Amino acid sequence: MNDWKDTARKQNKGFSLITVIIAVAFIGILGLLVLYMALSNFQMKITDLKGKDSFYTAERAIEEIRVGLQEDVGDSMSEAYIKVLETYNKDVDSTDIVLDKQRQSDFIDEFIKKLAGRLKNGTNQNEYNLKHLTDYLDLNNSEKFDFTKETLIVTTPSDKTPVMTKDKKSGILLKNLKVIYVDPKGYASIIETDIRLGIPKVQFPTPSTLPDLMNMIVVADKGIICEAGGNETTTISGSIYSGILKDITDNTILEKNPWTSIWVQPGANLDIQSGDKVVSAGEIYTDQNATFTSETGVTLWAQGVKLSSAQVNLLGTTYFSDDLTIESGNSSRVTIQGEYYGYGYPESARNSKNDYMYDAADGKWSDTALSSSIVINGKNTTLDLSGVRKLMLAGRSYIGTSGVRPVSGTSNSNDVMMGESITVKGTQLAYLLPPELIDTSGLKTPDMDIKNPMSYSDYEESGLMQMDSIPLKMDTASAELGNKTLNEIGVDSQKPVQEVFYNNNADEGYVYFYLNFSNTSEGNRAASDFMYNYYMNNSTVKTNLDKYLSFYFSNTNSGIKVKDMKNYIRYVTNGNVLSYEGGEAAEGGTGAQGNMTTATSAEVSQALLQEQKNYQNMWYALNRKMITSVDLLNKEVKDSDGITHDETDSSRGVFDNMVNEKEMIQFLQVKQPGTLEFTFKASAEDDSLQAIMAHNGESSTFKVKNADGTESETTVNGTNKPLTITSAMADKLRLVLCTGDVVIEPGVHFQGIIMAKGRITLGSGASLESAPLEAAKVFQAQMASDKNMSPKSFFWEGDKYVLGNSNTSNESTDSGRVLDTYDLADCVTYENWRKE
């Protein structure tokens, strides 16, 4: 028994081994489990890495779509912005504040329209085109993309459509976009999202209520005279305003041209080298052997230009309310480049702010004076428009009768409208009534040989003088009319013929009978068609007229040079345009000969009338305050007595609306009661620059407030002596304010601002240049004797002028400049983004 127990004890020796084996097995199992878990984790990480690679590939695809949509947004924004600018002043009767809101609304409408048009699915405006988005993908077009192993799909969820919604506040929303990417190993990534296309926040330029004073150089309320002296050229660099010339010693120029503002005297040379606004209230008259030039970059506003045996170069942007007239003389030359807007048209002019002047009770302007054209009356003239990019001639030429001295007992009250916007005096022959069309059956002398023109004695003897109207054969064809009748060519049915009486100072005088077309759209078209057919469709007539025109263009270098209308960016003419190659005209049409293109806008559209009216209103505002918006003229500017100053008053001029004349004169009465002239000197910190204030006009009248609160007018006499600026004065002088005339001596280089209520005379070789920084220093500097006074105190709203009136904006940089850069990425955003 004991042996058995001993044997049993001996047999438990293997238990430790079993325990060890079990422990080792358990540890092995744990190790395998750890290895399995590590392997599984590794495999999961590999799977996740491949999934991420697949996801990022899908995300790259949708980002490429987003970038492409940014391009769509940018293009639509540009097109919408340009479209709004094209109709920038379409409703001139609205205020600028209302117009700004309207422009923003128009931009939003146009932007959404353009963008939706790019994205729409065929004709369905409520769905977007998936193929359009797919075309923006570069991924599937790259060399690394394997079409046999990879798949990239742009689609929508199976139960949804590519919905496109539009909203004026939030823009366009592309809903239900789905991008699926499957990599070569079968890993798939799915991204679903909506994409919001927001409306860019653009800002349209808004005109300032103040003129850009610091970049101005001259305000001459009574005009500018440029004197001659050798071959010296007088130059101006900066914005200027010139009123109507008055009270000059030699009144010959005013007798012939009472609306002259700038007079370039015989032999003088005036070169406007720069200027954002160069404004001449009347005409620029360039006398014999003189030269007037407005350089590239200059914006010139004037009533018109007249020249005689002189040269005019209009190389920038030019706006004329009336004609460019080349008067009788020899070898005049006119070169026009850039943009030329002759915007004068009777209907739009009389409906503008300038109607106070055009329809004045003491003298209504004729249609001739309100119609922009180019007229050549001089011999050997050269008119070169080949460098023009944009051309508008809203009016047409007239046969001026009001300036013709009539026969005693008669009057010439109505000018005769022609069919051309660019023409030569010689084409008037085309408008003479063929004499055989006068019906002689009812005359006192039926057998009289009727001529056109006819002597006044024959006119009287025939009985035509006693008749209310000229008897005509309205339905008889005439070879001179292209074998057409008067009715067929479209003359005015009420008054088909206009009589013009001419006193030649030698005998009894003559009577001319001209075809008369009504000043209506139908009449305009009829006159244009008549002249075109008369000149271009009858070789015999054309040859004869070319011979006659060669009198004006006998020099081979002379003529009218006009490009084909297709080569202009814009080409608008109310009448026909005559061009002519100079030289002697020969038989058979060889040698010098002319050409004529038809009017593009004989029937004036409402849009064109509105544009012309807008230019007229801008012209009005420029002549009030050197700003382009009538809406921004202030009706209630208060002076120190609280008396209201109304800038919109048509009697106000630029000097009156910019310079507070009353404040300046009252200051001079205290500081310099004897001379009424004060020289202000700035501190050394401001370079000791100077300003001169002078009451050197004849007198000034203004309102003052009395002690009892009532208002009364007072008149203060001035010295009535011109202020002469010499070279020594010009060294430090940067600002001149005076109520009289200013004379700039020959050769003086003046930098700064001159505000004169009188006339400014520029000596030969003088140069005037704007100096914004230095003018601003002296403008804002305080006077040592009175810390509350400075030169800006003598300007209306002087505290608002700061170094040239920078624009304001809701979005601006620290320097105050308007931001003009847009981040399109901000306009394309994701909504409801999710991945699978």
The tens digit of pLDDT for each residue in 604-652 reads: 888 889 999 999 999 999 999 999 888 888 888 988 889 999 999 988 9
The predicted model scores a pTM of: 0.74
Return d(Cα 604, Cα 343) in angstroms, integer. 12
The DSSP code sequence of 369-387 is GG---EEE-SBT-EEEEEE
pLDDT at residue 817 in the model? 33
pLDDT at residue 48 in the model? 57
Q: How far is CA 386 from CA 142, 325, 363, 580, in A?
A: 50, 18, 38, 13
SS3 per-residue string spanning 224-255: EEECCECECCEEEECEEEECCCCCCCCCHHHH
Q: Which residues contact 39 (CB under 8 A, 6 or more apart)?
A: none
Count CB-CB contacts under 10 A for residue 684: 7
In this prediction, residue 584 has a pLDDT band, given cuts at 50, 70 and 90, of: low
The tens digit of pLDDT for each residue in 732-768 reads: 999 999 999 999 999 999 999 999 999 999 999 999 9
pLDDT at residue 203 in the model? 72
The tens digit of pLDDT for each residue in 427-441 reads: 888 899 999 999 988
Q: Which of 348-352, 477-481, 508-512 comes out lowest in average pLDDT?
A: 508-512
In this prediction, residue 368 has a pLDDT band, given cuts at 50, 70 and 90, of: confident
Provide the b/e sequence for 355-368 (b: ≥16 CB within 10 Å): eeebeeeeeebbbb
Helix (H) or strand (E) run with residue 756 in it:
strand 753-756
pLDDT at residue 808 in the model? 35
pLDDT at residue 54 in the model? 66
Q: Is the pLDDT of residue 341 over 70?
A: yes
Q: Which of 115-129, 401-415, 452-466, 568-582 comes out lowest in average pLDDT?
A: 401-415
The tens digit of pLDDT for each residue in 238-248 reads: 999 999 998 77
Q: Which two tokens stand for residue 733?
A: 């002088």
In this prediction, residue 592 has a pLDDT band, given cuts at 50, 70 and 90, of: low
139 by Cβ neighbours in 10 Å (0-12 / 13-18 / 19+) ranks as middle
Say which residue the tokens 């170069």 belong to.
Answer: 313
The mean per-residue pLDDT over the stretch 256-273 comes to 93
Rounded to a whole number, what is the largest CA-CA distance in the chain?
A: 185
504 by Cβ neighbours in 10 Å (0-12 / 13-18 / 19+) ranks as exposed
**pLDDT above 70 as % of the chain:** 86
DSSP 722: P
Q: 453: cis peptide before it, omega within 30°?
A: yes
Q: Which two tokens stand for residue 697?
A: 């006009």
8 A C-beta contact, residue 503 and residue 406: yes
The mean per-residue pLDDT over the stretch 767-794 comes to 82
Q: Which residue in 651, 580, 583 sits closest to 376, CA to CA?
A: 580
CA-based angle 562:568:569, to the nearest 5?
A: 160
CA-based angle 91:97:100, to the nearest 5?
A: 65
pLDDT at residue 89 in the model? 52
In this prediction, residue 364 has a pLDDT band, given cuts at 50, 70 and 90, of: confident
238 by Cβ neighbours in 10 Å (0-12 / 13-18 / 19+) ranks as buried
678 has which bridge partners?
693
In this prediction, residue 30 has a pLDDT band, given cuts at 50, 70 and 90, of: confident
CA-based angle 246:770:816, to the nearest 5?
A: 125
Q: Which of 6-15, 205-214, 522-531, 826-835 comes out lowest in average pLDDT?
A: 6-15
Strands 216-220 and 239-242: parallel
In this prediction, residue 136 has a pLDDT band, given cuts at 50, 70 and 90, of: confident
In this prediction, residue 399 has a pLDDT band, given cuts at 50, 70 and 90, of: confident
Q: Is the pLDDT of residue 812 over 70?
A: no
pLDDT at residue 182 in the model? 83
Q: Is the pLDDT of residue 484 over 70?
A: yes
The tens digit of pLDDT for each residue in 190-245 reads: 889 999 999 988 876 555 667 777 788 899 999 999 999 888 999 999 999 999 99
In this prediction, residue 811 has a pLDDT band, given cuts at 50, 70 and 90, of: very low
Q: Which two tokens stand for residue 289?
A: 């052997």
The tens digit of pLDDT for each residue in 55-112 reads: 677 788 888 899 999 999 988 988 888 778 766 555 444 455 556 677 888 889 999 9
pLDDT at residue 815 in the model? 31
Q: Which two tokens stand for residue 155?
A: 């689609």
754 has which bridge partners?
218, 736
pLDDT at residue 211 in the model? 77
Strands 299-307 and 317-320: parallel
Return d(Cα 833, Cα 824) in angstroms, integer. 20
pLDDT at residue 804 in the model? 38
pLDDT at residue 803 in the model? 41
Cα dihedral 270→275→277→278 (10° resolution)? 0
Return d(Cα 720, Cα 106) in angstroms, integer. 55
Query: Which amino acid, 514?
Result: Y
Say which residue the tokens 């030649």 belong to.
Answer: 504
pLDDT at residue 510 in the model? 87
Return d(Cα 804, Cα 613) in angstroms, integer. 29
Q: Which residues contact 564 (CB under 8 A, 6 or more apart)?
A: none
The tens digit of pLDDT for each residue in 500-521 reads: 888 766 567 888 899 999 888 8
8 A C-beta contact, residue 321 and residue 343: yes
380 by Cβ neighbours in 10 Å (0-12 / 13-18 / 19+) ranks as buried
Higher pLDDT, 51 or 484: 484
Backbone angles phi, psi at 57, to 5 degrees: -65, -45
In this prediction, residue 447 has a pLDDT band, given cuts at 50, 70 and 90, of: confident
Q: How far is CA 453 from CA 433, 477, 531, 772, in A?
A: 9, 20, 20, 61
Helix (H, G, I), strand (E, B) or coil at 668: helix
Across all residues in the chain, what is the average pLDDT? 84
Q: Which residues contact 355 (CB under 8 A, 6 or more apart)?
A: 349
Radius of gyration in angstroms for the set of CA atoms belonging to the chain, rounded to a whole number = 41
Q: How far is CA 147 from CA 131, 152, 190, 269, 490, in A?
A: 18, 9, 18, 75, 73
Q: Which residue in 197, 207, 198 sits closest to 103, CA to CA?
A: 207
Strands 188-197 and 171-182: antiparallel
Q: Is the pLDDT of residue 806 over 50?
A: no
In this prediction, residue 589 has a pLDDT band, given cuts at 50, 70 and 90, of: very low
Count CB-CB contacts under 10 A for residue 351: 18
What length is written for the chain?
A: 836
The tens digit of pLDDT for each residue in 654-691 reads: 999 999 999 999 999 999 999 999 999 988 888 889 99
The mean per-residue pLDDT over the stretch 16-45 comes to 78
Query: Which amino acid, 722?
Result: P
Helix (H, G, I), strand (E, B) or coil at 142: coil
In this prediction, residue 22 has a pLDDT band, given cuts at 50, 70 and 90, of: confident
Q: Which of 232-246, 264-278, 314-328, 602-616 comes out lowest in average pLDDT?
A: 602-616
Return d(Cα 713, Cα 701) in angstroms, integer. 7
Strand ranges inside 505-664, DSSP E = 510-515, 559-561, 570-573, 576-581, 594-597, 637-638, 644-645
pLDDT at residue 490 in the model? 92
CA-based angle 245:368:468, to the nearest 5?
A: 130
Helix (H, G, I), strand (E, B) or coil at 111: helix
Query: Which amino acid, 611?
Result: E
Return d(Cα 26, Cα 313) in angstroms, integer. 106
Q: How far is CA 786 from CA 671, 680, 684, 822, in A?
A: 11, 12, 17, 48
